A = this chain, B = another copy of it.
Amino acid sequence: MVSKSEVKFIRSLALGKFRNKHKQFVAEGLKIVEEMVLTGGFKYKLFVSVSQLGKLSPNLGHVNFEVVSDNEMKQMSQLTTPPGVLAVVDIPDYSFSLAEMKTGLHVVLDGIRDPGNLGTIIRTAEWFGIQHIFISPDTVDPFHPKVVQATMGSVFRVQLHETELSSFLHQCQNDGFKVYGAVMDGANIYQTTLKTVGAFLVIGSESHGISDAIKTLIKHPVSIPAYTSGAVRTESLNASVATAILLAEFRRLGA
């Protein structure tokens, strides 16, 4: 039996201020919850609606959960059509060590605002073996329900660090990391040397790109060439698409 105040609490996690306050977020849907359970290491409380009981997969067979009525699930859920499987998850607190990161390629996000874009970037980053993503304070909350959904479970496996980027990148450069950034007039990625070890790739916001303060720290600006010059009127690629093409190229060269 779930209490009214607990339903209200869970519902409140739709808002960033309550996620920040309680250090918890909501993950919904069989697929996403399964990914969390299979990944392991998370502290969570799981709720399943009566009508969903028969549809749980064997992956959740050993897991404790509380059965709630369809109506209670509807009140907890942040989705218009509640999938009937909902977990309240403690926001993980990841640490990192620059020394240990010397062998990897890492992603830095400067002001991504669209939850779908952030979720897609996290999903794509995992595909390309990225373990750490550093996000500016003005990037959308990675535990926003739409972000969690769009990651398809990758949010549980890529380590996300909210950081003031300016001082962080400054330190990284002092430590010998290469800092690449996606910039409209950057070097053609196919005609430049991409170092895939001890490197950061910075991606800017959808509407303004990389902020001025961070741009001065980008020692290796790169860009994706458009296929035709004159005829094309498109000014840019979507932020998640640009990230994907750049990561693919880093990995092609590093493979």
Chain A residues with CB under 8 Å of chain B are 35, 38-39, 116, 120, 123-124, 126-129, 150, 152-154, 157, 190, 224-228, 231-238, 240-241, 244-245, 248-249, 251-252, 255
A126 to B152, CA, bound (A): 27
Partner of A153, one of B116, B154, B234: B234
Shortest A79–chain B CB gap in Å is 15
Enumerate chain B residues within 8 angstroms of A225, measured Cβ to Cβ.
251, 255
Enumerate chain B residues within 8 angstroms of A233, measured Cβ to Cβ.
35, 38-39, 126, 153, 157
Known: A228-B129, A232-B127. A244 touches B251 (CB 8 A): no
Whether A226 contacts B124 by the Cβ 8 Å rule is no
Whether A127 contacts B226 by the Cβ 8 Å rule is yes
Report the copy number of this chain in the oligomer. 2
Partner of A241, one of B120, B154, B226: B120
Enumerate chain B residues within 8 angstroms of A236, measured Cβ to Cβ.
152
Shortest A246–chain B CB gap in Å is 9
Whether A190 contacts B129 by the Cβ 8 Å rule is no
The 3 A-B residue pairs with the shortest CB-CB distance in the complex, in nearest-first order: A129-B227, A241-B244, A129-B228
Enumerate chain B residues within 8 angstroms of A154, measured Cβ to Cβ.
234
Known: A190-B252, A255-B225. A129 touches B241 (CB 8 A): no
Whether B244 contacts A123 by the Cβ 8 Å rule is no
User: What residue of chain B has the Cβ atom nearest to residue A252's Cβ?
Assistant: B190
Q: A127-B234, A152-B236 are in contact. List 7 more A-B contacts (CB 8 A).
A: A38-B233, A120-B238, A124-B237, A127-B226, A129-B228, A237-B244, A244-B244
A48 to B116, CA, bound (A): 30
Shortest A132–chain B CB gap in Å is 14
Enumerate chain B residues within 8 angstroms of A157, measured Cβ to Cβ.
233-234
Enumerate chain B residues within 8 angstroms of A116, measured Cβ to Cβ.
116
User: What residue of chain B has the Cβ atom nearest to residue A31's Cβ?
Assistant: B235
Whether A237 contacts B129 by the Cβ 8 Å rule is no
User: What residue of chain B has the Cβ atom nearest to residue A190's Cβ?
Assistant: B252
User: What residue of chain B has the Cβ atom nearest to residue A116's Cβ?
Assistant: B116
Enumerate chain B residues within 8 angstroms of A227, measured Cβ to Cβ.
127-129, 251, 255
A240 to B127, CA, bound (A): 14
Whether B248 contacts A126 by the Cβ 8 Å rule is no
A252 to B248, CA, bound (A): 12
Shortest A66–chain B CB gap in Å is 26
